[in-house]
Structure 1
């Protein structure tokens, strides 16, 4: 780990439940986890194992009930809403439901990803550059209704990355993509980790991309059943702002 940089995510004693009274059900139980900066971590497990709940807690989208969650040095347990909003500005999100604005073009949708991160040098050019890297250079001015499902998902990926987030949270980002497109997206995320220090936590059932992971976590019944670190995993890098669009 690079000097002076703590882990991107540190979790201790994290538990979470839904429901009240007799209907109350624990979906996460005593999770302890450190994720160094720059790692691409894949989170696997059967439906109902707690993967998406864990993702939303670490992504500052849900309040911590029990335990400690530190994201980029910020404790989320007991954090006020303003603190959660501030933390989210340093994060990027890719969901299976792309949630594009139907009245905006692909380029405009990606530029919307800049709103939470503030102005970045060359960011407007970076939006077009990212779409080009994802094979959408000829679709910049198309509306979502004119795009296929896989193309919409790639626009959503570009929107998540254009603000140069420190951590990317991805929930089934390759589900709507063919093998080649899905691999290209994950290879880009892995490269960002190795070259720029971007951390990615990805929920997936896509066995085609497992070899690209630095680490694979398997959840079962709300607990981490297996934690496999791959050889040559990413080391921490100092986060850099802006994009090289050469």
Structure 2
């Protein structure tokens, strides 16, 4: 039964990719899955970790990243191609999810370490909670990004993050109270563009998660290990632009 549910959810995700320019409703997705609307929403979130609408929004923005990096289409044209009728709404959602505006992303094709530093909340001096553990990955010699996010998706500003030279021990400091998902990613050498494409089942893009992790005011240290695996079509798209962080870490550690 679980395999049948996953196949139904996969049909919906494939339909999302094929019809990004259309206005896709929950009713449309439920019909594609051949479930009732309410049952579909529950099983979709259980399988992917996100609601259908949130997943669709992530797929739209992932395609926008690809078009910005690989075509000369205007931001307005791209926003319409991925299903936004308002370029203002598209730009706002892209900026909050990826870390920079569509225009800046096209110029840099990345998010710099400075962008993360500038976006950090100015409360580091008031907390001292640490999350630490080990990250394992089939990409044994590649840099790894690890960060704490409010949801099961790599988007928006992490409350704490690190970039490792290779899989192994990690430490995330100054973690605020709350419920966080530890998300980690590594990209195969020469396949940095994999983050902008739907997952194909190869090992070019490996992801992992742990959580939710509950941090209370009286917490001092939380232990969490993560095993990375090749990304699957059922995993939410990677929206945060991490290529520059991983590349910068590789250059720094090579010195």
TM-score, reference length from structure 1? 0.29
Q: Which has the higher contact order (CA 8 A, sep 6+)?
A: 1
Greater strand percent: which structure? 1
Greater helix percent: which structure? 2
